[in-house]
């Protein structure tokens, strides 16, 4: 078989089980693709030895017909996941040289399911960013371009390396994490599928924390079916994470009927933003038509507190981050600044954190510290928590009305140019999350599916939001959307 | 159960240059929960291990590590709450208290500010003079201990030991109900006693398993009563918190010193700043810990890594059903069932080992006599050897045997003391020792009479004097006891001597 790296998880799995190829061949194809894709800057730590060792084990299991769900399938892991004895820096200088002595639950689950790790993927520093430009490794690059324009585009963020790697066929799939849209936005920017499951579905143990009440891991894949396969392997109850749900994991792939007849799909009027590009509006209308044609009932709904979501998110997430990132102090691991004669512990903290954290991380730590400080706590943090409760209630109300899932655009635009936002107000960058943060605040599952392209040929995606714990149903609806949209475009290889 | 009743003690008064002043004291006691593992990790809590050997990844705040609550620590906190007759909150929650320090790896301490596990309770603090203060407990919450910074091992570096990091502490917060240094020490003693009965904290102050922050303010006589009536703190003075005290003696000194400092300020026309202070026992003064510019803003917020802690009433009821008899109940029972004085009952119930020992001795015997022997003879002897009751060379059965021999008139009280010393140093069965060594009391009046006659006959001068002054009869009693090797029944000797002298 040729171009093995271009396979999706389901196809490769079937080929492996049919003995048409081997994990070693698949892995080598991906390693070669990675070697040829330095210009994308997607993989930032390469683990070919580990990959080939895992591939050999997988091939042995396949031979014994003892192959678990992801057996022999080569994937990339976002740098936010701690992987044993493999650098895990969260895209930050402050974790320079840090080698975890433990394996995150999600990556361990994937390995237990037979997955092969090719390396670690680029990301915004501590998952804070929407363009991959806050990464200490320099940004990953979107394999897509605007027609023949050579201008480099962002793969989105924070899981930009994961998105670029999957879209460019450097791996069959990748892990991502999503705190405010970090799986769904880059998936939409690169024409791939990404699902953020219900908060508590995937264990957070071993994933470097950004905002603990919002962070969730999820798969970034070439199809909805692949997302179903990989999510099932990733998730499950973990006693090491107190917020992990003790619920059985359904067979997501078996649930992919694509039958949406009689399902009620909600269209929230508040997601029609002023100044939203016409192409996004058209994409949305096309998606609505596809779901209607597939037999779903389209219902206009209202999520009245949507406009407060972004401000609330940019209080809660930095608040938690300011506390979560306090541990990076240069005392025990990672970067420690060189000290001058007479410097004490305060200087050590200040210099280490000033050198170790980039400007966006510093900005969010400052914001978080501010909103939690005495005298401002009620005005910011407590108010944001109240807004969060109202946003959650908005969703509960529409689900109580019988809505099965909600269809929205995934992003307010197609991928933008790298550097384009350099001089913009940070809030402009934060607006990338406008359609996705509500889902994190409410803890719901959300999936981005590529359904069209803009005039310049860039991929665009729609988002489906599901009821809590009903990823199976959500994936099936997303499958229907995927089938109807028939998005098959790939980026032309220029790297 | 019989409740013992007490008068309320008088608040301590200090005479200032201008007025009399009273003290108002509240305490925050940090008690290390007795548990094998830490509050949020499986690492051992064993004291005295090699530095940084009892450290789990989460204790060292490795990236991505998450806390998971130790159910046993929760049980211990609930048990403590029940022991202090406190309200147990079926729902509580953990918050983060944020500050930077090298011995605090997470950069925050997980604590319970907004929703503690235990609410209002009380501690009856007996003062030993027939008075007792009922001190209200405001709350008990669970929190992580910090590690230890070591600054004196190297001229240029500091070292950190994380063994203690994450060990479960209970912070027991009292209302400002304590009215003097002695009451503060008595409160801590009583609290320690209850926790040790419950098995929820070993109470070892030297190892830091129990330490206290003491809030002290002053007020003019009458102001406290106004506060009590209205619960309005403005009737009281501004408080200062003396941090991290782990000696009963220093706590009392520090309170006194701090109160006098505040009195001097107020009488001099100044105002007391609310602040945290440290006590320096060498200089006998308290000192401000940090300036206002360095004042901490802890930025408390709910810990998003932990769900609210919800416990079932049934579970609490089961813990309540397994509570041991607590000091107040035990003391009341000792007074009631054994006829002991309040003082003796207090001494014997001070700790479980003493109380258990006493009960074993007193079983089927005269309670007062048992108490006398345990407190006066045994405790005295143990103290001389710096031994505690758990290592007593004399078992309750042996001491009971000695008491039985007295009760049956087989030996006199004086011989009994000799016998006790033999049992203490050599061991053995008291009855057998008495038999073997011929220590039995002579109750045969014929033998005693002969001895009395002999002494009288040999000492005519003394007889004449004794007949003038009956108090001198004691000399004859002593001579007879000496002649009989102390074995004569003293009562019989007394009677015979009196009879013979008076002819």
Q: Which domain holds residue B381?
A: 324-436
DSSP B301: E
Domain boundary among B276, B294, B312: B294
Q: From the CB of residue B72, how many other CB atoms can be counted at a distance below 10 Å?
A: 15
Contacts of A302 by beta carbon, 8 Å cutoff, 6+ apart = A268, A269, A270, A394, A398
Q: Which residues of B touch A332 (CB under 8 A)?
A: 60-61, 105
- Structural tokens at position B75: 């049980």
Cβ-Cβ contacts under 8 Å, B107 against chain A:
323, 325-327, 329
Token readout for B421 is 């010393």
- Of residues A159, A162, A182, A477, which has the active-site annotation? A182
- CATH number of the domain to which B481 belongs: 1.10.10.410
Residues B474 and B423 in one domain: no
- Structural contact between residues B480 and B453, judged by C-beta atoms closer than 8 angstroms: no
Q: Are the beta carbons of A215 and A204 closer than 8 angstroms?
A: yes
Low-confidence ranges of chain B (pLDDT < 70): 1-3, 290-295, 443, 503
Residue that terminates a domain, selected from B414, B436, B458 = B436
Which of A90, A317, A323 to mutate against chain B (most B CBs within 10 Å)? Answer: A323
Q: How many domains does chain B have?
A: 3
Strand stretches in A98-165, DSSP E? 116-121
Q: Do B108 and A322 touch (CB under 8 A)?
A: no
Residue A252's closest CA among A475, A10, A479, A464? A475
Task: Calculate the dihedral angle through the C-alpha atoms of B115, B120, B78, B195, rounding to the nearest 10 degrees.
Answer: 130
Q: For the sheet with B301-302, list strands across it.
A: B108-111, B95-98, B301-302
> Both B173 and B245 in a single domain?
yes
Please check whether residues B455 and B430 belong to one and the same domain.
no
What CA–CA distances, in Å, run from A124 to A9, A140, A155, A159, B354?
A: 26, 9, 11, 7, 65
Token code pair at residue A160: 């930009």
Considering only alpha carbons, which residue of chain A is nearest residue B99? A326
Do residues A447 and A464 lie in contact, with contact meaning Cβ atoms separated by under 8 Å? yes
Residue A286 near residue A355, CB atoms below 8 Å: no
Closest CA to A218 of A15, A431, A439, A405: A439
Cβ–Cβ under 8 Å, residues A391 and A442: yes
Paired with B279 in beta bridges are: B286
Q: Which residues of A touch B297 (CB under 8 A)?
A: 373-374
Active-site pick, A22, A92, A104, A158:
A158
Residues of A in Cβ contact (< 8 Å) with B300: 372
- Any domain includes B275: yes
Task: Write down the pLDDT at residue B2.
Answer: 47
Kindly state whether residue B16 falls inside one of the protein's structural domains: no
Give the pLDDT of residue B286. 95
Reported as a single tens digit per residue, the pLDDT across A387-430 is 999 999 999 999 999 999 999 999 999 999 999 988 888 888 88
Name the active-site residue from A78, A120, A196, A264.
Answer: A78
**Residue B343 falls inside a structural domain:** yes
Q: What is the mean pLDDT of chain A?
A: 97
Record: contact B57-A101, CB cut-off 8 A:
yes
CB contact under 8 A, B305 and A212: yes
Helix axes B490-501, B473-483, angle to 10 degrees: 130
Q: Is residue B72 part of a domain?
A: yes
Distance, in Å, from the CA atom of A111 to the CA atom of A50, rounded to the nearest integer, reads 11
**Mean pLDDT of all residues in A348-364:** 97
Cα separation, B22 vs B14, whole angstroms: 6
List all residues 6 or more positions away from A483 whose beta carbon is below 8 Å from its beta carbon: A258, A294
Per the CB < 8 A criterion, the answer to whether A470 and A443 are in contact is: no
B80, B141: one domain = yes
The length of chain B in residues reads 503
Classify residue B157 by burial, with Cβ atoms within 10 Å: 0-12, 13-18, 19+: exposed
Residue of B58, B64, B93, B96 to mutate, testing the A interface (most A Cβ within 10 Å of its Cβ): B64
Same domain, B32 and B174: yes
The token pair at B297 is: 């803003």
Interchain pair B98, A212: CB under 8 A: no
pLDDT for B5 equals 86
Instruction: For residue B231, give the 3-state DSSP assignment.
Output: coil
Rounded distance, CA A396 to CA B95, Å?
27
Told to judge if A242 belongs to the known catalytic residues of this protein, a careful annotator would answer: no
Contacts of A244 in chain B (CB under 8 A): none
pLDDT at A390: 98
Question: Do B367 and B245 belong to one domain?
Answer: no
> Does residue A2 have a pLDDT over 50?
yes
Same domain, B142 and B263: yes
Instruction: Produce one character per residue of A70-106: b if its CB has 16 or more CB atoms within 10 Å, e if not.
Output: bbbbbbbbbbbbbbbebbbbbbbbbbeebebebbbbb
Q: Does B305 touch chain A (CB under 8 A)?
A: yes
Residue B336 maps to a domain: yes
Contacts of A291 (CB under 8 A, 6+ apart): A260, A265, A298, A407, A477, A480, A481, A484
Measured between CA atoms, the residue of chain A closest to residue B61 is A327
CA–CA dist A240, B481 (Å, integer) = 78
Decide if pLDDT at A307 tops 80: yes
pLDDT in tens, A6-21: 999 999 999 999 999 9
Nearest to B100 among A100, A101, A349 (CB): A349
Tell whether B287 and B335 lie within a shared domain: no
* Annotation marks residue A78 as catalytic: yes
A206 and B69 in contact by Cβ < 8 A?
no
ipTM for this model: 0.96
Handedness of CA B178, B179, B184, B185 (dihedral sign): negative
Are B180 and B203 contained in the same domain?
A: yes
Calculate helix-pair angle for B413-426, B396-407, nearest 10 degrees. 160
Block residue for tokens 């813990």: B319
Instruction: Note whether residue B3 is domain-resident.
Output: no
The phi-psi region of residue A419 (left if phi > 0; otherwise alpha if psi is between -120 and 50; otherwise beta) is: left
Per residue in A41-73, pLDDT tens? 999 999 999 999 999 999 999 999 889 999 999
Domains of chain A: 4-261 (3.90.1300.10)
Same domain, B67 and B146: yes
Least Cα distance to B374 among B334, B323, B324, B329 occurs for B334
One domain, residues B368 and B229:
no
Tokens matching residue B371: 């108490």
Q: What is the pTM of this model?
A: 0.92
State yes or no: cis peptide before B184, omega within 30 of 0: no
Say if B299 falls within a structural domain: no
Question: B301 in a domain, yes or no?
Answer: no
- Say yes or no for a CB contact (<8 Å) between B299 and A322: yes
- Determine the pLDDT at residue B294: 62
A223 catalytically annotated = no
pLDDT at B503: 63
Both B427 and B451 in one domain: the answer is: no
């Amino acid at each position: 078989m040729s171009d093995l790296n271009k396979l999706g998880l389901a196809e490769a799995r079937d080929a492996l089980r049919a003995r048409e190829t081997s994990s070693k061949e698949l892995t080598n194809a991906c390693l070669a693709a990675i070697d040829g894709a330095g210009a994308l800057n997607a993989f930032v730590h390469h683990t070919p030895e580990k990959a080939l060792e895992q591939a050999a084990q997988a091939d042995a299991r396949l031979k014994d017909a003892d192959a678990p769900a992801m057996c022999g399938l080569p994937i990339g892991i976002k740098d936010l996941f701690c992987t044993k004895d493999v650098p895990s820096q969260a895209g930050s200088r402050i974790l320079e040289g840090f080698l975890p002595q433990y394996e995150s639950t999600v990556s361990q689950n994937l390995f237990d399911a037979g997955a092969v790790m090719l390396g670690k993927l680029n990301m915004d520093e501590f998952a804070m960013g929407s363009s991959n430009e806050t990464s200490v490794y320099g940004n990953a690059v979107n394999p897509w371009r605007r027609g023949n324009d050579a201008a480099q585009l962002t793969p989105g963020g924070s899981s930009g390396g994961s998105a670029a790697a999957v879209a460019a066929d450097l791996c069959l799939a990748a892990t991502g994490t999503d705190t405010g849209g970090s799986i769904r936005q880059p998936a939409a920017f690169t024409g791939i599928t990404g699902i953020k499951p219900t908060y508590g579905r995937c264990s957070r143990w071993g994933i470097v924390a950004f905002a603990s009440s919002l962070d969730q891991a999820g798969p970034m894949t070439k199809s909805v079916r692949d997302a179903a396969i990989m999510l099932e392997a990733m998730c499950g109850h973990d006693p090491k994470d107190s917020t992990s749900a003790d619920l059985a994991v359904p067979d997501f792939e078996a649930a992919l009927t694509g039958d949406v007849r009689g399902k009620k799909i909600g269209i929230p009027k508040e997601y029609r933003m002023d100044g939203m590009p016409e192409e996004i509006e058209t994409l949305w209308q096309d998606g609505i038509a596809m779901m209607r044609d597939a037999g779903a009932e389209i219902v206009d709904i209202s999520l009245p507190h949507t406009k407060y979501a972004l401000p609330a998110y940019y209080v809660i997430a930095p608040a938690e981050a300011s506390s979560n990132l306090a541990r990076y102090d240069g005392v025990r691991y990672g970067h420690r600044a060189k000290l001058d004669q007479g410097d004490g512990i305060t200087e050590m903290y200040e210099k280490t954190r000033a050198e170790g954290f980039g400007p966006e991380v510093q900005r969010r730590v400052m914001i978080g510290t501010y909103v939690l400080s005495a005298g401002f706590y009620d005005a910011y943090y407590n108010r944001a928590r109240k807004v969060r409760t109202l946003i959650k209630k908005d969703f509960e109300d529409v689900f109580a009305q019988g809505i099965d899932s909600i269809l929205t655009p995934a992003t307010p635009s197609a991928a933008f140019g790298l550097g384009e936002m350099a001089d913009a107000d940070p809030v402009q960058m934060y607006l990338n999350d406008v359609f996705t943060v509500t889902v994190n605040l409410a803890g719901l599952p959300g999936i981005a599916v590529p359904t069209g392209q803009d005039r310049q040929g860039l991929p665009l995606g729609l988002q489906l939001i599901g009821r809590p714990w009903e990823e199976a149903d959500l994936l099936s609806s997303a499958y229907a959307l995927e089938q109807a949209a028939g998005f098959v475009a790939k980026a032309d290889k220029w790297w | 159960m019989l409740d013992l009743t007490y008068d309320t003690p008088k608040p301590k008064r200090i005479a200032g240059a201008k007025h009399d002043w009273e003290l108002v004291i509240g305490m925050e006691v940090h008690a290390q929960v007795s548990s094998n593992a830490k509050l949020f990790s499986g690492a051992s809590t064993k004291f005295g291990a090699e530095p940084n050997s009892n450290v789990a990844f989460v204790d060292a705040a490795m990236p991505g590590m998450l806390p998971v609550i130790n159910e046993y620590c929760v049980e211990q906190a609930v048990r403590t709450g029940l022991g202090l007759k406190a309200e147990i909150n079926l729902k509580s929650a953990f918050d983060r208290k944020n500050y930077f320090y090298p011995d605090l790896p997470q950069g925050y301490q997980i604590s319970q500010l907004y929703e503690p596990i235990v609410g209002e309770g009380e501690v009856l603090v007996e003062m030993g003079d027939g008075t007792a203060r009922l001190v209200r407990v405001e709350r008990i919450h669970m929190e992580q201990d910090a590690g230890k910074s070591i600054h004196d091992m190297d001229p240029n570096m500091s070292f950190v030991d994380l063994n203690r990091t994450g060990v479960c502490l209970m912070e027991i917060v009292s209302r400002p109900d304590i009215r003097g240094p002695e009451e503060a020490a008595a409160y801590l003693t009583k609290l320690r006693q209850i926790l040790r009965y419950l098995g929820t904290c070993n109470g070892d102050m030297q190892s830091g398993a129990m330490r206290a922050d003491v809030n002290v303010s002053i007020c003019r006589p009458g102001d406290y009563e106004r506060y009590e009536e209205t619960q309005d703190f403005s009737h009281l003075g501004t408080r200062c918190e003396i941090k991290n005290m782990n000696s009963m003696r220093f706590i009392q000194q520090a309170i006194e010193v701090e109160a006098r400092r505040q009195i001097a300020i107020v009488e001099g026309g100044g105002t007391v700043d609310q602040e945290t202070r440290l006590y320096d026992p060498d200089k006998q003064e308290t000192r401000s810990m940090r300036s206002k510019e360095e004042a901490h803003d802890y930025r408390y917020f709910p810990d998003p890594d932990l769900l609210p802690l919800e416990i079932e009433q049934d579970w609490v009821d089961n813990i309540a059903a397994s509570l041991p008899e607590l000091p107040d109940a035990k003391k009341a029972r000792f007074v009631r069932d054994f006829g002991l004085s309040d003082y003796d009952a207090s001494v014997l119930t001070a700790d479980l080992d003493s109380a258990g020992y006493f009960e074993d001795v007193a079983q089927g015997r005269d309670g007062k006599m048992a108490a006398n022997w345990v407190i006066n003879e045994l405790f005295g002897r143990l103290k001389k050897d710096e031994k505690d009751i758990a290592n007593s060379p004399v078992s309750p059965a042996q001491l009971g045997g000695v008491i039985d021999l007295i009760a049956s008139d087989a030996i006199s009280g004086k011989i009994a003391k000799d016998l006790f010393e033999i049992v203490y140093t050599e061991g053995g069965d008291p009855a057998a020792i008495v038999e073997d060594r011929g220590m039995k009391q002579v109750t045969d009046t014929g033998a005693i009479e002969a001895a009395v006659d002999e002494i009288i006959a040999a000492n005519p001068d003394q007889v004449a004097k004794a007949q003038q002054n009956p108090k001198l009869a004691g000399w004859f009693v002593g001579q007879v006891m000496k002649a009989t090797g102390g074995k004569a029944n003293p009562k019989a000797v007394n009677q015979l001597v009196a009879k013979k002298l008076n002819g």
